Every structure is written in C-alpha cells, then in structure tokens.
Chains A and B, each alone.
Chain A
Amino acid sequence: GEDVEQSLFLSVREGDSSVINCTYTDSSSTYLYWYKQEPGAGLQLLTYIFSNMDMKQDQRLTVLLNKKDKHLSLRIADTQTGDSAIYFCAETSGTYKYIFGTGTRLKVLA
C-alpha cells in the first residue's frame, strides 16, 4: 500500500541545521515533494526531487533521496525562527494524487 511516515517533532537552535526525515513505501514513486505549512495557512511548495536523482540543492535547502531504502530528507541550513512550521513530505507516482505524511513540526529556538 501507499504510506508516508515522518517524525512528529523537531527542535533546533537558531543558526543550526535542521534535518527532517521521511520514509515512503510506494516503489513506483516518481516525484517527491516538500511542503511547508504555517499556522492557519495552506501548503507552500519548498522543493521537489525526481526519483532518479540522489540530491538536490536549492539555496538553504538540500534534499537527499535514498531510493533503495525509500528514505527522503530535507536539510535546512542556518535555520531561522521564520522556519518554524510544519513540514510535509509527499510522494506521487505520476498519477493524479499526492500521498502526504503526517507532518513534522519544526520549532526553532532563539
């Protein structure tokens, strides 16, 4: 079946790096996404990676994909208080729907 799992909470100090992890079960996943959700708001697309890539870097964001272990991570460098939010990973096999994890709540301590 299709399932995406994430740890529920992560707390880091301002200026440190944050690493948010995600595992998925669908071996036919073609694209994997990271979205950010602030309180009371919708989902903001942060970045995505195609399944034939191992890594993608976009400014402070680095995505690592281990397709063999079905493990995805998002690293945020120099984490700021404005990065405090819930982060969702999502996978799709190129069909119509995205499968989302339950989200990781990131708290950045000043």
Chain B
Amino acid sequence: ETGVTQSPTHLIKTRGQQVTLRCSSQSGHNTVSWYQQALGQGPQFIFQYYREEENGRGNFPPRFSGLQFPNYSSELNVNALELDDSALYLCASSLQQEGTDTQYFGPGTRLTVL
C-alpha cells in the first residue's frame, strides 16, 4: 500500500509569484485535505476535495485554490505569494464514509517566500 506523497519537498519563491504543490493520495482513498503549518504552530485547515469538488474551506483567501483529479491526486495553488505564506504545507488523504474519515498525512512541502 502506497502512502501519501507530496512534491516538491522544498520550494523557494519570491513575493508576488505563484506556486503549485502536488499530492498523491494513499491507495484506496478518495478525499484530499490541505493544511498550512506555520513554524511552531499546529496545522490549519485550508480546504478539502472530494469527487473533484471543494468539499469545505477554512479561513484562507481566494488566492489559495485547488484541484482534484480523477485519480484522486490533488494540487494546491497559491497566487500572489506573501511572506506570511512561508510554511509547511501538508496534504492528507482519507476515505470518506459514514462517521469520520481518518486522515493520513504526507511528508509536506516546505515553502519559503522571500
């Protein structure tokens, strides 16, 4: 069974640029959630995708957007990067079913905005 993978591992961008982060979900999972983890903080929910549609969104501006593909992999896009966007971006996959969907996390992408 393949776990959650993310690419790239590290990324450096400058303010105002755009970035795309990628996530491949765990085998058998149909839902992907994205979180932002600033240094010294817990992860903050950005949004979740299920059946290629946004299933819920946290308190993030519209310049954070995403996609989910038919194979359940996902992208997180951030436009007009700001210095405060520097963080570890975590992707989690799960199998949506009755009750809860336990989320399994990837290793993350470390984004640095200069």
A interface list, Cβ under 8 A from B: 4, 30-31, 33, 35, 40-45, 48, 88, 90, 92, 94-103
Interface residues of B (CB under 8 A from A): 4, 6, 33, 35, 40-45, 48, 50, 55-56, 58, 90, 92, 99-100, 102-108, 110
Q: How long is the Cα–Cα vector from A97 to B59 in the complex, in angstroms?
A: 12
| Contact (Cβ within 8 A) A102 B41 | yes
B44 CB contacts on chain A under 8 angstroms: 100
> Quick one: which of A45, A96, A97, A102 contacts B104, CB cutoff 8 A?
A45
> Known contacts A97-B48, A102-B41; is A92 also within 8 Å of B105 by CB?
no
Q: Is B33 within 8 A of A30, CB to CB?
A: no
Cross-interface CB contact of A48 among B4, B45, B102, B106, cutoff 8 Å: B102
Bound Cα distance A14, B102 (Å)? 31
B6 / chain A contacts, CB cutoff of 8 Å? 42
Indicate whether A42 sits within 8 Å of B90 (C-beta atoms), given known contacts A96-B48, A97-B33, A100-B43: yes
